[in-house]
Structure 1
Amino acid sequence: MNSHTEQLAPAVPAPAPEHVAIVEQAGGRLAALSPIGASLRGIDLRAPRPDAAVIAALESVMAARGFLVFKDQQTLSTDELVNASVWWGGRAMHSTHGVHPATPDGNRHIFRLSNEHSHGIPGVGPQFHNDGAFCDAPFSHVAYHIVRVPEHGGGTVFAHLGAAFAALPPAKQAYWARLTSVNSTTGVAHPLVHDHPLSGRRSVWLHLGMTGAVIETSPAGDRHRLLEAEELRQLCRDYNELLEAGFSNGYTLAYEYEPGDCIFIDNYAVAHRATAEAHRPAAEQGLRIMHRATVAAPFEAFEPHFGLPQHLPIHRPSPLGPGVWQPGGIGFRWDASAPMQN
């Protein structure tokens, strides 16, 4: 069993009483996990979509707490997972992945992950990231349904991006707010600091495995330059250390799955990565199988600031002069020893 307690850290607010009451009226029982996230019992994802007030309350809980664990969903089929996923965000799937041969019914909206290649895609997501960073508008929500829990651990680390921004010193907040990341595969640009579209909380946002460049805008907003290799390396290290510091400072949690867990994350509120145990061989950890589903954002673009274009020609020579401009694959390798796979 998980050892999560109900003690809350001040970095992340408790679920609002009015949201708790709405969910309880629908038969659900919300409980805050510590230090982030929440669990929910009593609402079956196989059932018809709850009414609009319940959906709005649960979306607000995800925006504030980062993620929501629907308990006791052992028999959830792939079609039922897809149907429940479109309760949120843009109310439509946004599926960009390949389909593993072991995916039940070949469901194109299911990305099947495993630590055994014959059962699913292995090795995915070892560094902190947000899913869909290569899209103009990255996925609003992402579902993770644990189909097979390994006997010896293999969870997911979640870090609250609003609390992480608040933990930065003011000078670094100001500097990071002038940075824009460029995706290494598509050239789409996103702000490193944004205001969460639902909660309004100022938050950080950077993909540590798919960034091809970072642009710094001058304090006056009139000049742009690329970060040099050592600057970008330091930024990525600082970002990783910031999210890892949440274990001590109350905004990061390594969640170990229980049978039947289905987690929905707000993809603008939390970053995530797999634990090291999740990628260890099935012979060592036990077989791990997870189904992921990705939800369209309810807006057209997650636009960069300072008048920068949404798209930059990452596969062509840099239009911004010298600095890191690394197209393709995992982009800039900021730590030569770190495993990288998207």
Structure 2
Amino acid sequence: MGQTPETSSRRLPTIPPLDPYRVSLIEQEGLSVRQLDPLGVEIYGADVRTRLPEPLIEALEAEMANRGFIVFKHQTDLSADELVTASKWWGAREIHSTHGIHPATPGRNRHIFRCSNDQRHGILGVGPQWHNDGSFEAATFSHSAYYMARAPEQGGGTHFAHQGAAFDALPKQKQAFWQRLVSVNSASSVTHPVVHTHPVSGRKSVWLHLGMTGAVLERLPEDGLSIDELQKAPATADQFRLLNEDDMKALFNDYNDLMNDSFSQGYGIRYHYDTGDLLFIDNWALAHRASPEAHLPAEQQGLRIMDRVTIKARQDLAPHFGLPQYINIAGPHPFNSDGVWQAGGVGFRWKDDIPMQN
């Protein structure tokens, strides 16, 4: 089959292999690694109750930025404090907690968000659509920890998609368009670029929350200015337009398709947990969603208990074009075009027949 102009303008998505020097640092500590296909890394032989040496922590943080996530295998029976302490190895080395506390949370630890498929053991129905944790914050969480305290007998994992490789997979025309977009969170009014440059890997990476976005702004193109020049140049209100309902539906469906296509195009993975897995993601590099099986009742799937911890970022995920970090979505918009401007906890409903709880 011949290529269309759109498909021929795409770059093949790429995820770098493990760096040999960083592998040597890991192995010097008596640990072993397994590179997953096409992304992610499993680490064997560690005990996260003991802090790793700083050079190794830095190496693993770089691998998360490049390959999306790492998994410390066989970390059974971690206490709440042990989980929180290990989570402080990354990002700004502080926990950033914004959630409620389920009664079954160990020690009622305020930094642990306990999820389950049985309401007696945790919060139900979390994360069914592609998202990044903490998108309602200016300094969106740099990393998240997912500790599988109890894996269900019949599976129930997490889907991950690499957002740098996803950008590479976009046609050039959409790359240019998406780089001119800024989202506005429907709950907090915070703004984020739809394409940002990852602070560690340096890769252009897509970013859009499918469950809490109330508006998207487009910076209109200008003759003679490259996208990099546009992003750095402050603009007036009349140089933006609000995406209308049809534009929003097209964008959200394109983004959802891009994430779904990750499995067939080599930048996504369906990860299945074992009890005791401690998985850390780079939340600026990786979108995720719970697998459909994760939400099946415990009577059907087996009991699933996962503890999440979120880590403070070193910097804000700031918008381009001189836009402020917050634009009050509960008030009138300051732009000269009509379009979607919707406040509320769920945001713009781009599809009516899917659950939203992120």
TM-score normalised by the chain length of structure 1:
0.95
CA distance in structure 1 between the aligned counterparts of 2:259 and 2:86, rounded to whole angstroms: 29
Task: Give the 3-state SS of the residue equivalent to 1:40 in structure 2.
Answer: strand
Alignment-mate amino acid for residue 248 of structure 1: S
Task: Find 1:60's aligned residue among 50, 59, 62.
Answer: 62
What is the one-letter code of the residue matched to 1:294? Answer: T
The answer for the alignment partner of 1:3 in structure 2 is none
Question: Counterpart in 2 of 1:26?
Answer: 29
Match of 2:265 in 1: 249
**For residues 192-341 of structure 1, what are the structure 2 equivalents within 5 Å?**
192-220=194-222, 221=230, 222=235, 223-299=239-315, 301-320=316-335, 321-341=337-357
In the TM superposition, residue 339 of structure 1 has moved relative to its aligned partner by 1.0
For residues 45 and 190 of structure 1, what CA distance do their matches in structure 2 show? 33
Q: 1:329 Cα shift?
A: 1.1
Select 1:12's aligned residue among 15, 30, 45.
15
2:171 maps to 1:186: no
Moved over 3 A (4+): none
Amino acid at match of 1:340: M
After TM superposition, the structure 1 = structure 2 runs for residues 66-145 of structure 1, keeping only pairs within 5 Å, are: 66-145=68-147
Identity %: 57
Structure showing greater radius of gyration is: 2
* CA–CA distance in structure 1, aligned partners of residues 123 and 291 of structure 2: 15
Q: Assess if the C-alpha contact under 8 Å between 2:13 and 2:165 holds in 1.
A: no
- Equivalent in 137, 162, 167 of residue 165 of structure 1: 167
Q: CA–CA distance in 2 between the matches of 1:168 and 1:101? A: 44
* CA apart distance, 1:42: 1.6
How far apart, in 1, do the equivalents of 2:94 and 2:265 lie?
A: 35
Distance 1:282 1:319 in 2: 48
Which deviations, in whole Å up to 9, do the C-alpha atoms of 1:98-146 show, x marking residues without a partner? Answer: 0000001100000000011111000011000000100011000000000
Structural RMSD (CA): 1.1
Q: Matched residue of 1:273: which SS?
A: strand
Count matched residues: 332
What TM-score comes out, normalization by structure 2 length?
Answer: 0.91
* Alignment partners' CA distance in 1, 2:319 and 2:300: 44
- Give the CA deviation at 1:247: 0.6
Contact 2:13 2:265 in 1 (8 A): no
Instruction: State the Cα distance separating 1:10 from its structure 2 match.
Output: 6.9
Partner residue, 1:175: 177
